[in-house]
Chain A
Amino acid sequence: MPAATISDFDAFVDQLLQSGALELPMLPSAMAETLALCQSDTADAARLSHVIHRDPTLAANVLKVANSAAFALPVPCASLQQAVARLGLPRIAETALALCVRGTVFSEPSCRDALARLWRHAALSACFAREAARLLRRNVETAFLCGLLHDAGKAVLLTSVARAAGSRGVDVGDLAAALHARHQDVGEQLAIAWKLPDPVAAAIAHHHEPERAHAHGQFAAIACLADLLAHFVDACDGAQMPQADAIRRHPSIALLNLYPDQLQTLFALASKAQASAEAFA
């Protein structure tokens, strides 16, 4: 089905979902191991280095991120162990997870530019989600993953459509509304396939209506707010840039009990979040 002529995108997505033809990427083994390490009480620098080292591309990219401007290390890191020692286990684990996601979900060559924009938005949202969680006393690592993966469904859908279209290519602009309408469903499928932690799965599935995430409503609301803030500072995935006032009056603000001065704190962290996100570019 040439994507450029898709008249009923919903039917196409339904067909993909029902037939099992939707190409859900496999959870990379390095990501699975890193996630398991993050959630266990046995995480240590040596084990994480070992996991990352098994994937040479990942190891090289982690080093590249560690040496990026965002971390501003006085002397460049030459080894992974050095990077772990300087940046700490949580940041390295976070970096490894982000790079695994990028390499797996955001890597289809036929729609590289569109996926690069989506990736930039994902990384920025993750950094905003992390800061929001810190402010609101929520789990920082979980919030980072919620921000990182909230729009993964868009990337999966776009990849499926681009592959279906083959050499005819896709006009991402035409698909924007349709991608937006279905990305939570597809993201939810990915979360189930990857057995992601419940709060992350809930945030992916309900970040546009966080109140539907019930027990995990706070993480869905954090992903929602991070999404808005990322669009506000950088309309990089082609979405319409929200106005600051619209963010201030967004329903997620009430769900999070975020008062104007606290929201202002998050706005003020924009350059920090952007610098962190740039590191994953």
Chain B
Amino acid sequence: MSQAPEPFDIVVLGSGPAGQKAAVQAAKAGRSVCLVERDAVGGACVHHGTIPSKTLRETAVHLAGFRVRAGRHVPIEIPPDLQLQSLMERKDAVVEAHVAFLQKQMERNGIVQRHGRARFVTPHVVEVESVYGDRSLLRGSVIVIATGSRPRAPEGIPIDHERVLDSDSILTLSHVPRSMTVLGSGVIACEYATIFAALGVRVTIVDKGKRPLNFLPASIVDRFVAAFERNEGCVFVGNATVRSVQWNGVDSVVTQLDNGWESKSDVLLCALGRVANVEGLGLEHAGLSTNARGHIPVDADCRTSVPHVFAVGDVIGPPSLASASMEQGRRAMRAALSLPRGNAIDTIPAGIYTIPEIATVGVDADTARAQGIECVVGTARFDELARGQIAACTDGVLHLVVDCATRRIRGCQVLGEGATELVHLAQMAMATGATVETFVDGIFNFPTMAEAYRVAALDADAQLLRMAQR
């Protein structure tokens, strides 16, 4: 390996949502780009995470929805020998189509692809090792680290990928289990917990926090927990620390908690966070290091402490959402190339694909008040909407956070089916500086879930009026 490094304007490490958008942005700006991927194109998002889990979720949602709407007359039972893969029959087609799209996009934009593991040898040069152990060098004027993350394997949890699984191996289960313990109550934990609950699995979520999804307002989370616990045999156990997890050697995983509680289940999903994929990157050769949480520190433009090196996506820590990662990739490249960035990063929504869905954008009332913003929260309950009743989506709620001084929309939180789509109306309202009147005066189709905005806006408007009258 004595040849000179192959030069590129931009070298991107990782082809997940963040790396891919960074590469495309740079290529569209006329730069030469090389994208290095250690696994299959698309990264964990396409092959182990977002896309496979959402494909299973789609089936679970339809099964659960059908049961609610017509199950009394046309019962649907999942046969005990049904393979889990049968419920994800479209996964391979979806993944194949997505990968083909990504490949075409790379080719169309003239992005050079290298398959292998990269590590820094100098701040501007990375070595790429192929699966066959061959090595080559790439030189980048700018280098983007987008190597993603993997499930954390906490000490003392015997993850064997057979009975005790992590979020990368949970979908390799051959059949739908009878019962499942889920450790953790973050986004991934709650998504899988509710998907399996909808499939009829008795799910126990265990977490040290009082509530799951602790970054969301309590009013949303309490409704979420209530909806989850309405599934037969499903329970959230909060304020509990795991003392031990053991496969009993015969037929169940035994989870013992510090409060004396014991859970026995067919399988256990350990979803206690993710760790950044930074080992083996040779960050020290680039003059970089990680913070206490193992993430690469960056500024608002995702630039690291080494000016020509950017880090985007899961390697920089929360929010670790595909949508945010894409924007980080795009933004980092625009910063690297001194192009205008805009302020879209302030209004990136968060979509949580639980059943029911949850979505947020902007701030909630508590956060707004902590920032010194006086606000009111307009609320619409889905059981008050004609469409909510028709679609049997009565669990839902929409909160619209309205700034008292400017009457502008500051944030929105939605729980209920369609939440991840519905939230975009609030996002656009925020991006355009719309006031609550936009939704009060706006006429939506009837019956639709979007009507929730008008109901919430009218509620907020009434509160503002009362305040003005005091």
Number of A-B contacts (CB under 8 A): 80
The interface residues of chain B lying within 8 Å CB-to-CB of A40 are 80-81, 175
Provide the B113-153 mask, 1 if CB < 8 A to any CB of A, else 0: 00101000000000001011100000000000000000000
Given A89-B250, A137-B48, A140-B162, also A41-B131 (CB < 8 A): no
Structural contact, B133 and A137, CB atoms closer than 8 A: no
- Interface residues in A136-174 by Cβ distance below 8 A to B read 137-142
Interface of A is mostly: helix
Structural contact, B250 and A39, CB atoms closer than 8 A: no
Report the separation of the CA atoms of residues A134 and B166 in the bound assembly, to the nearest whole angstrom. 12
Provide the B175-205 mask, 1 if CB < 8 A to any CB of A, else 0: 1111000000000000000000000000000
Interface residues of A, count at CB 8 A: 37
The interface residues of chain B lying within 8 Å CB-to-CB of A139 are 172-174
The verdict on B382 contacting chain A, using a C-beta distance below 8 Å, is no
The verdict on B374 contacting chain A, using a C-beta distance below 8 Å, is no
Which of A43, A45, A248, A253 has most B Cβ within 10 Å?
A43
* Minimum CB–CB distance for A240 against chain B, Å: 21
Given A40-B80, A86-B249, A257-B39, also A134-B160 (CB < 8 A): yes
Residue of A nearest to B248 (CB): A88
Provide the B33-57 mask, 1 if CB < 8 A to any CB of A, else 0: 0000011100000001000000000
Structural contact, A258 and B131, CB atoms closer than 8 A: yes
Structural contact, A88 and B250, CB atoms closer than 8 A: yes
Report the separation of the CA atoms of residues A12 and B178 in the bound assembly, to the nearest whole angstrom. 49
Report the separation of the CA atoms of residues A237 and B236 in the bound assembly, to the nearest whole angstrom. 54
Residue of B nearest to A217 (CB): B92
Which of A41, A87, A259 has most B Cβ within 10 Å?
A41
Structural contact, A89 and B251, CB atoms closer than 8 A: yes
Structural contact, B81 and A253, CB atoms closer than 8 A: no
Structural contact, A257 and B249, CB atoms closer than 8 A: no
Report the separation of the CA atoms of residues A86 and B40 in the bound assembly, to the nearest whole angstrom. 40
30 A-B pairs within 8 Å (CB atoms) are namely A36-B81, A40-B80, A41-B80, A41-B176, A41-B177, A41-B266, A44-B251, A85-B249, A86-B249, A89-B250, A134-B160, A134-B162, A137-B48, A137-B169, A137-B172, A138-B172, A139-B172, A140-B161, A140-B162, A140-B172, A141-B174, A197-B83, A199-B85, A215-B92, A248-B132, A254-B115, A254-B132, A257-B131, A259-B131, A260-B129
Q: Interface on A for B, CB 8 Å cutoff?
A: 36, 38-45, 84-90, 133-134, 137-142, 197-199, 214-215, 248-249, 253-254, 257-260
